[in-house]
Amino acid sequence: MSPPFKKILIANRGEIALRVIRACRELGIRSVAVHSTADANSLHVKFADESVCIGPPPSKQSYLNIPALISAAEITAADAIHPGYGFLAENAEFAEVCERCKIRWIGPPPALMRLMGDKVRARAAMQSSGVPTLPGTGVLDSEKAALEAGERIGYPLIIKASAGGGGRGMKVVEGPARFGALLATARSEALAGFGNPDVYVERYLTHPRHIEMQVLGDGQGGFAHLGERECSIQRRHQKLIEEAPSAALDDTQRAFIGDIALKAIRGIDYSSVGTLEFLYQDGEFYFMEMNTRIQVEHTVTEQVYGVDLVREQILMAAGEPTRIKGQLKPRGHAIEVRVNAEDPVSFAPWPGKITALNLPGGLGVRVDTHIYDQYVVPPTYDSMIAKLIVTADDRPRAVARLSRALSEFVVEGIRTNLPFHRRVVEHPDYLSGNLDTHFVERLLGPQAT
């Protein structure tokens, strides 16, 4: 059987670029790595079949430089581009440029990316499909409209950026007194972070769990979901630990959210791999947003469902129907921790040279990383340097395996958040599965906010 593409350029860096390279190799597809001058010695560059330097360290001049990426694809005769996550992974303009240049985009069509990338339009689309959402508004155009929404919906509320995520432009409003000031700050942050000042509000949940659903559509009427992931352990809306399945759901709740997920992607005729994110509190699910790309935490779904999601993503982009039929059941339990080059208390980035490294191993242990002994972590990019994933028959055994693997994980020369993860796995609430999005605040205190 001939490979679906001859050559794929990976428009990304680090561990996700290496992850895509591995999928390409198993499919018999040649891979092209792109890199900035800061990443010339990264493993994704070393293991790709070809590599192209696309610019200096600043992302705007390299990994966010669409002309440079397209030029790299053209000079290497790549017939497809995989965007990974982050950078341009959800940039509809980049996808459109690829289409115009006759380069296959490994992801959903640009129109779907624009729809689900606009949080206000995404909410409306989900409501039309019968997906539960929190009481909220459209784009707010004035302080008066915001105060009227507060009276109608009730407090507390949360302001969110229509065009983005990751906590930027996000403010909790406890009452009308400071609403105007918080609205102005949120709009300013949204403009700076996403080039769009539009914000909206919705009811704020005080102790939710963050539950997301892995979904896919093949563009030929085939839709499937691969269960849920628990992503409640996060700091400033940035995920730190994820697991599958969630300890909070029973079979009835799992079937319910699965049906909701399928209803959502059928309603928008979704194609490619994607993730629907929900808040879950007091037995109720509420749609939050959709990510139209592969997720950092896709690994735990792969471990418990035995599906290579990057492979599926590539095959569906080549026009093949999904081979996932019916409702698959999870096998065991998987947990992922994000290992970041940062101070474990202040969470400040800590780039530098790794002077010694030991990666954990053994049964049920997976490490996705691009680092190695003597590797220099650049100060220019996201601080994540590795993902540690463990899998076992059930959650207690997975936690025990995670604790063992963390004790073996050694990174010297820089600071990492490994001590933070070791604290988490000893916490009674974590051991019992008593989680919500404020877990880290309870663990670390005020400095976590």
- φ, ψ at 93 (rounded to 5°): -60, -40
- Of residues 91, 69, 90, 92, the one with CA closest to residue 81: 69
Q: How far apart are CA 179 and CA 182, in angstroms?
A: 5
Strand order through the sheet with 104-105: 50-55, 30-36, 7-10, 80-82, 104-105
Q: Is position 293 annotated as part of the catalytic site?
A: yes
Residue linked to tokens 């990383």: 369
Distances (CA, A) of 95 to 13, 81, 98, 176, 321: 18, 9, 5, 42, 21
First and final C-alpha spacing in the chain: 53
Helix ranges restricted to H, 381-446:
395-408, 418-424, 428-432, 439-444
Could you write out the DSSP letters of every residue in 95-161? HHHHHHTT-EESSS-HHHHHHHHSHHHHHHHHHHTT--B-SB-S---SHHHHHHHHHHH-SSEEEEE
User: Which of 214, 213, 225 has its CA nearest to residue 325?
Assistant: 225
Question: What is the radius of gyration, based on Cα positions, of the chain?
Answer: 21
Token pair 């609205």 in the structure block, residue: 183
CB 249, CB 342: distance < 8 Å: no
Helical (H) or strand (E) element with 209 = strand 209-218
CA dist., res. 213 & res. 156, Å (int): 26
Q: Give the residue carrying structure tokens 């009452």.
A: 175
Tokens 């629907």 belong to residue = 276
* Residue closest to 103 by CA, chosen among 299, 318, 294: 318
Q: Of 13, 104, 123, 293, which one is the catalytic site residue?
A: 293
Residue 95 in contact with residue 105, Cβ under 8 Å?
Answer: yes
Distance CA 311, CA 333 (A): 22
426 CB neighbour count, 10 Å cutoff: 10
Helix then strand count (H, E) for the chain reads 15, 20
Residues constituting the chain: 449
Catalytic residue numbers read 293
